[in-house]
Amino acid sequence: MTTAPLIEAKDLVKTYGSHPRLIGKSYPVRAVDGVSLKLMRGETLGLVGESGCGKSTVGRLILGLEAPDNGSVTFDGSPLARAGSAEWRRSRARMQMVFQDPLSALDRLLPVAAQVREPLVIHKFGSQAQMDKRVADLLNAVGLTAAQGRRLPGELSGGQRQRAVLARALATSPDVLVCDEPTSALDMLVQSQVLELLAEIQSKSGVAMLFISHDLRALRRVSDRVAVMYLGGIVEEGPVNEVLETPRHPYTQALISSVPGVHGLNPNRILLSGEPPNPTQRLPGCAFQPRCPRAVQACSYTAPTLRPISNVSHRVACHLLHTGLHRPTP
Ligand code: SF4
């Protein structure tokens, strides 16, 4: 028996108007270029890639905060309603977002407990007493005291603020949490505590999470599966341990090799040649071709598609793995 995905995105495309240049000409930026993904109930999918690869845009498209130019998003078996409609607002109660900067996500003039209460009021959770209890339970669940709940966001530490954001996001018992770089504004120790909290929330509540991050170590701690993005597209996806231990796409290999170990930079890290990707200048063929140390001629004119390798749930978009054009790893 197969289980239907909670969220299914198909062939999402998002192009932003244009970026004016000095000479007056403008260029469209294709931030997301044909992304398809599935998020199952109760799982955490990590979405990783360099900054500007389009991963945050994918998060916003999935929540309906922006409309795709092409493609579709299905939530719990139904097409995601148009943003702003009553149906979309009902869906949004079941899909919440946690942002990178908790201070800008919170109202600086309102005590955090009142902000945790807001979604309960909006979605008519119950009586005043029921809401009081729910707020107290939520603060407790994220490790905040009642006294901290009475404070303004500016009176809390960065980690406490992110806990308050999480409590608010969980208020309506969502089915999905989209966490966009939720720990990157925090110091190392607090990052670790928030990741532990996210993993605990996920295992207790069964909420599905899309965890967007450039930090592979953070992603590994909370994810079941991972999708690696490069220049608007997914280049590799699969079970997190398999992808991170045996990466098959040259970009994933370079990304993983660049993660410092306990003794500092990896002496065997793969250094990419060429310029960082320019989303306004799309070349034909594989998007990674200008920087790929293993490119062959076909890479410059044919774009590879995401296809399964040995394990059907591990998929890679690279000609070398599907056409027998193998060249040794440098
Ligand atoms: Fe490199 Fe070619 Fe594979 Fe693209 S398709 S990642 S350029 S080898």
* Interval 118-163: pLDDT, tens: 999 988 888 999 999 999 999 999 999 999 999 999 999 999 999 9
Q: Looking at the domain assignment, is residue 328 inside a domain?
A: no
For residue 178, the domain's CATH number is 3.40.50.300
Residues 17-67: tens digit of each pLDDT: 765 554 556 678 889 999 999 999 999 999 999 888 999 999 999 999 999
Give the atom of ligand 1 at the shortest distance from the alpha carbon of 321: 3
The predicted structure's pLDDT at residue 189: 83
For residue 228, give both structure tokens: 């690696």
- Cα separation, 209 vs 187, whole angstroms: 22
0.75 exceeded by pTM:
yes
Residue in the structure block whose two tokens are 């209460």: 117
Give the atom of ligand 1 at the shortest distance from the alpha carbon of 251: 6
How many domains are there within the chain? 1
The predicted structure's pLDDT at residue 272: 76
Q: Looking at the domain assignment, is residue 147 inside a domain?
A: yes
Contact between 147 and 66 (Cβ < 8 Å):
no
Q: Looking at the domain assignment, is residue 1 inside a domain?
A: no
Q: Looking at the domain assignment, is residue 265 inside a domain?
A: yes
Q: Looking at the domain assignment, is residue 330 inside a domain?
A: no
Ligand 1 centre and the CA of 220: distance in Å?
Answer: 25
The predicted structure's pLDDT at residue 20: 53
Q: Looking at the domain assignment, is residue 141 inside a domain?
A: yes
Q: Looking at the domain assignment, is residue 329 inside a domain?
A: no
Among protein residues, the one with the nearest Cα to ligand 1's atom 6 is 318
- Cα separation, 84 vs 90, whole angstroms: 10
The predicted structure's pLDDT at residue 235: 97
Q: Residue 235's Cα: distance from chain center in Å?
A: 15
For the chain, residues with pLDDT lower than 50 are 22, 326-330
Q: Looking at the domain assignment, is residue 2 inside a domain?
A: no
Domain containing 233 equals 7-18+27-322
The predicted structure's pLDDT at residue 258: 85
Residues with CB under 6 A from ligand 1: 249-250, 286, 288-289, 292, 294-295, 299, 304, 318-320
Among protein residues, the one with the nearest Cα to ligand 1's atom 7 is 289
